[in-house]
Amino acid sequence: MHDILVEEEVLAENERFARENRSHFVEKGIFVLNLVSSPGAGKTSLVERTLEALRERVRMAVIEGDLATDNDSRRIGRLGIPVRQITTGRACHLDAHMIHHCLDWIDEVAPRLLIIENVGNLVCPSDFYLGEDVVVTIISATEGDDKPLKYPFIFRKSKALVINKIDLLPYTDFSVEAVKGNALVVNPHLTFFELSCRTGEGLERWIDWVKEVAGL
């Protein structure tokens, strides 16, 4: 019983900071994408391709979440886009308080589009609203197509599912139709994107969707 109370207090505190973050983003006119996936699904590559496609159109910034290292931040920094690293240590997700600590920096760089790359995990991030507009889950063709059934909560929370690394489909047993069907069982309102960050196939439709939902 005590553990349940502690969890409720943690989530209530997160919700308070998330509401403050949300109010701040709305006031400043910032659209926020929260990208989640398992490790290695291609979050950072998708962030890079999105930045490359939109950097001449809109001012952007990125928050990178990871357990350790600033490797992904350095990748983003090479594109000339403002980036802030959050190194969580042992925490398997970003929380709203961590994002709240970045608000002064966000105001300083003044993006119209803020991309949050969450820690690689399909479980913990589903419990922690950050104040974002949209959650997007990324899965790759090197993973199991039953992931939506095994980890339903993050797929239920998401507005879109990106199926990445489709260039590898001939070399795996991954079924695009199966993962879509499984995902729709969990969330019948998902929008799907099949793409390859390596070859560029399917990226144009993803970029068009980002522009549409963010009003860019």
Instruction: Write down all domains in the chain, each with its CATH number in brackets.
Output: 2-214 (3.40.50.300)
- Whether 124 shows a pLDDT value over 70: the answer reads yes
Q: Give yes or no for residue 4 having a pLDDT over 80.
A: no
pLDDT of residue 10: 76
Q: Which two tokens stand for residue 143?
A: 């993973």
Amino acid at site 44: T
Task: Give the phi and the psi of residue 197 in degrees, each rounded to 5.
Answer: -65, -25
Residue 9 confidence (pLDDT): 74
Give the burial string for 136-153 (b: 16+ CB within 10 Å, else e).
bbbbbbbbbbebbeebbe
Q: How far apart are the first and last CA of the chain?
A: 47
- Candidates 50, 76, 72; CA nearest to 204 is 50
The gap from C-alpha 192 to its chain's centroid, in whole angstroms, comes to: 15
Whether the full predicted model's pTM is greater than 0.85, yes or no, is yes
Give per-residue pLDDT as tens, 51-73.
999 999 999 999 999 988 899 99
Tokens matching residue 206: 């993803």
